[in-house]
Amino acid sequence: MALAVNKHENLILSALQREGSVEGDRVEDEKFMKIIEEWQNSNFKYKEFGGDYSEEEIESDKNEVRQMIKKFGQTEGAGRSDETVEAEYLTAEMIYNYLGFGENSDVYMTTKYDDLKGVDLVVVLESADGKKRVYLGVDTTVDYNSMEVKTKKTLGKLDKDELYKVKYFRDEETGEVGAEMPRIVIGIDKDEVARTKKILLGDEKDKLEKDGLNKEILQEGIDQLYRTLFYVLKKYQRKFSEFGDFIEFGQSEEINYEEIDEILKYLENKKEEVKSLRRTNPESMKVLESYRDNLEILTEVEKGKKGEHVVRNVFGKKIGGRFLDITSSIKTYTDAA
């Protein structure tokens, strides 16, 4: 018996069939649909990768998307609520048009194939001196239970020394196709989605660059990268114990930039030694370097915006009542590691 496919899922399947928009996302608010359509028009299309992947491989991936939509439906984000869709595009808007992650960043919406693999957005970050260029995956949700599930998946990948892979992506500056990256999850409650959308569609858009949501996206990103880097460091603690000067890093409720700087400096100084460790494979170092570089760039952005050296974010509490909490989950798993 054929599986039932709802109206929203049909829109996505039709979009895949047409080879136009790779998302097929729709919401009832026609004003917000114009924003969605602008992003969809700039999205990567499968046909753009004909010189990188075979036609058979691309068709296989598109068919995998169709099957996932039919099989899992709304539980995997195919028949998503308006708030869920709007949260994703609002996050893209905040980062790209309102400098949520600083001036030296770019944002790409992923294809439905990579979306269903766990990454909604790819943020390209570049250090102020232009020496570092890294990628950060962003996933969004308005559901607390989904935050827990996504956290477990991220930490599960780290247990296997894996980053998230985005297949249908091309760096427009370097030409690189496909990328691996850390992933953060931005959870926004539905009231905040409505509030920010109202400002974006109204006459006070200039407020958004300094708005609470925009600031907290950055702070949540830093917090997750920091906590997750600590998780990785603890996981590698036995490997690093071969160094007599290994630093024991504690997880305080207050994240201090000097402590972050100390971790980053330690990893940089030990790079060659880590590579030579018998129990450390190249993937381990790639994970550490990727988290380190993303964290380094975002903390510099935050310092420039805030003029302070501390991000206060207490475990188990929402930030400003707007964000669903995820860092408590990371701490729970870190304590058990």
| Confidence band, pLDDT 50/70/90 cuts, at residue 314 | very low
Q: What is the DSSP letter of 161?
A: T
The DSSP annotation for 201-257 comes to HTT-GGGGGGSHHHHHHHHHHHHHHHHHHHHHHHHTHHHHTTSTT-------SEEEH
Longest dimension (CA), the chain: 64
Q: What is the DSSP letter of 337?
A: -
Residue at token pair 């080879």: 19
pLDDT of residue 53 exceeding 90, the answer is: yes
The owner of tokens 């069939």 is 17
The strand pair at 183-187 and 133-141 is best described as parallel
In this predicted structure, the answer to whether residue 186 has a pLDDT above a threshold of 50 is yes
Is residue 298 over pLDDT 80?
A: yes
- Read off the pLDDT of residues 151-184 as tens digits, 9 standing for 90 and up: 888 888 988 889 999 999 999 889 999 999 999 9
Looking at residue 299, the DSSP 8-state letter turns out to be H
H helix or E strand, kind and range, residue 63: helix 55-72
What pLDDT sits at residue 68? 81
Place of tokens 């969809």: 40
Q: pLDDT grade, residue 266 (50/70/90)?
A: confident
Say if residue 8's pLDDT is above 60.
Answer: no
CB neighbours of 334 closer than 8 A, spacing ≥ 6?
Answer: 227, 230, 231, 234, 251
User: Taking the CB of residue 248, how many other CB atoms lie within 10 A of it?
Assistant: 7
Cα dihedral sign, 237-241-243-247: positive
Instruction: Give the integer Cα–Cα distance in Å for 275 and 281.
Output: 7
Average pLDDT over residues 1-12: 42
pLDDT of residue 55: 94
> 274 by DSSP, 3-state: which?
helix
DSSP summary character for residue 73: G
Alpha carbon distances (Å) from 101 to 19, 61, 138, 296: 31, 31, 12, 12
What is each CA distance from 308 to 165, 222, 303, 304, 327, in whole angstroms? 34, 14, 6, 8, 21
Task: Tell me the range of 5-14, 135-144, 299-308 where mean pLDDT is highest.
Answer: 135-144
pLDDT value for 251: 52
Digit-coded pLDDT (tens) for 127-149: 888 888 999 999 998 887 788 88
Residue of 98, 93, 107, 103 lying closest to 172 (CA atoms): 107
pLDDT tens for residues 78-129?
A: 457 888 889 999 999 999 988 888 888 999 999 989 998 999 999 999 988 8
Q: Is the pTM of this model over 0.85?
A: no
Give the span between the Cα atoms of 166 and 181, in whole angstroms: 8
Q: What angle do CA 183, 188, 190 make, to 5 degrees?
A: 150
